């Protein structure tokens, strides 16, 4: 059975939505950031601080390729996973790829109370969000499906993901497994 792969910018709800979907569908939940933290024994913030972004990106690619080999799991990804096209190619081979979207202000409001995201630990995080989102949006558009979460509740986003999944499985069966 195919996986469900959630991509999108930081703060679009990938992890929370992925967890909810996995619970309802009885599928295992995995997350590329959590996989990187497990393998390295470090938090994302520590990896950036000690070794820099390049090292994080290579761990992220290794994690994406490992998780792509799993079957019938929900995979949430880090917001920058799309920067290396190999990552999405691997995940799309075995999964239905859904991009979660939100506007920059919504993202800022959702992430501003946390300091776990190294890329936003800068003077003007609101501007960094707008700039990075602008730079990356063509990459998120490579997803098969898109959901704008800005004015939806968590439950509504979860329902939409499940609806997409059921439709795809009904149409294509196990094609992606």
Residues that bind ligand S3P (CB under 6 A): 10, 14-15, 33, 44, 78-80, 117-119
DSSP for 99-162, please give it. EEE--HHHHHHHHTT----GGG-SS-HHHHHHHHHHHHHHHHTTSSEEEE-TT--HHHHHHHHH
Which residue number, 54 or 171, has a Cβ lying nearer to ligand S3P?
A: 54
Which residue number, 4 or 168, has a Cβ lying nearer to ligand S3P?
A: 4
Looking at residue 98, what DSSP letter applies? Answer: E
Which residue number, 15 or 40, has a Cβ lying nearer to ligand S3P?
A: 15
Looking at residue 46, what DSSP letter applies? Answer: H
Q: Least CB distance from residue 118 to ligand S3P, whole Å?
A: 5
Which residue number, 45 or 72, has a Cβ lying nearer to ligand S3P?
A: 45
Backbone angles phi, psi at 55, to 5 degrees: -65, -40
Q: Least CB distance from residue 174 to ligand S3P, whole Å?
A: 29
Q: Least CB distance from residue 157 to ligand S3P, whole Å?
A: 15
Q: Least CB distance from residue 107 to ligand S3P, whole Å?
A: 10
On whether the CB atoms of residues 21 and 112 are closer than 8 A, the answer is: no
Q: Least CB distance from residue 168 to ligand S3P, whole Å?
A: 24
Helix or strand or coil: residue 174? coil
Which residue number, 79 or 104, has a Cβ lying nearer to ligand S3P?
A: 79
Q: How many residues are given for the chain?
A: 177
């Amino acid at each position: 059975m195919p996986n469900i792969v959630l991509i999108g910018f930081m703060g679009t709800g990938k992890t929370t939505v992925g967890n909810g979907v996995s619970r309802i569908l009885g599928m295992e939940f995995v997350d590329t950031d959590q996989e990187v933290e497990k393998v390295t024994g470090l938090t994302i913030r520590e990896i950036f601080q000690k070794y820099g972004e390049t090292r994080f990106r290579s761990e992220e690619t290794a994690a994406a390729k490992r998780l792509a080999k799993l079957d019938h799991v929900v995979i949430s990804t880090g917001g920058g996973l799309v920067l290396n096209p190999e990552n999405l190619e691997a995940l799309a081979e075995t999964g239905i790829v859904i991009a979660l979207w939100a506007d920059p202000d919504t993202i800022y409001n959702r992430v501003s109370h946390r300091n776990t995201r190294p890329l936003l630990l800068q003077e003007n995080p609101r501007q960094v969000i707008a700039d990075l989102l602008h730079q990356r949006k063509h990459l998120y558009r490579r997803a098969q499906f898109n959901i704008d979460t800005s004015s939806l509740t968590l439950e509504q986003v979860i329902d939409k993901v499940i609806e997409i999944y059921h439709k795809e499985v009904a149409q294509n069966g196990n094609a992606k497994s």
